[in-house]
Amino acid sequence: MPLSEHEQKLLEQLERQLHEDDPKFANSMGSDPGRTWSTRHIVIGVLATLVGVLLLLVGVSLQNIFVGVLGFVVMGAGVYFATMRSAAAGKAKTAGRGKKSKGKSSFMNSLEERWDERRRGES
């Protein structure tokens, strides 16, 4: 069930007040559409992590500290790279969405219209 106009206004007022009172917290709680997960980052990160684990095991089996430490560093870098969000992928997705529709409000309007049509059909 969609929010009434009064509820939407109250929600917008609460959001504005939160941004005014604590903008850092409000930004951390909001989703950042410019940064998304990149499949390429995840795949490369996982592969680098696996290579790091193998280097670590080789270093331990050969009792070579340098190879073991190198494996650990590569493994850590792979995990970091896999969990890093990509700004470029987010911009590309946002740009693609902007071309298809007028914006977020038109998307929400179409959802509200579909919801209203369903409710009219049930009555």
Run means of pLDDT, 10 residues per run, the chain, 123 residues: 80 82 74 66 93 95 94 94 69 48 64 81 69
List b or e across 45-68, with b for residues whose CB sees 16 or more CB atoms inside 10 angstroms.
beebbeebeebbeebeeeeeeebb
Length of the chain, in residues: 123
Question: Are the C-beta atoms of 52 and 77 separated by less than 8 Å?
Answer: yes
What's the predicted TM-score (pTM) here? 0.47
Instruction: Please give the pLDDT value at position 58.
Output: 95
Q: So what's the pLDDT on residue 101?
A: 43
d(CA 41, CA 39): 5
Q: What is the largest CA-CA distance in the chain?
A: 76
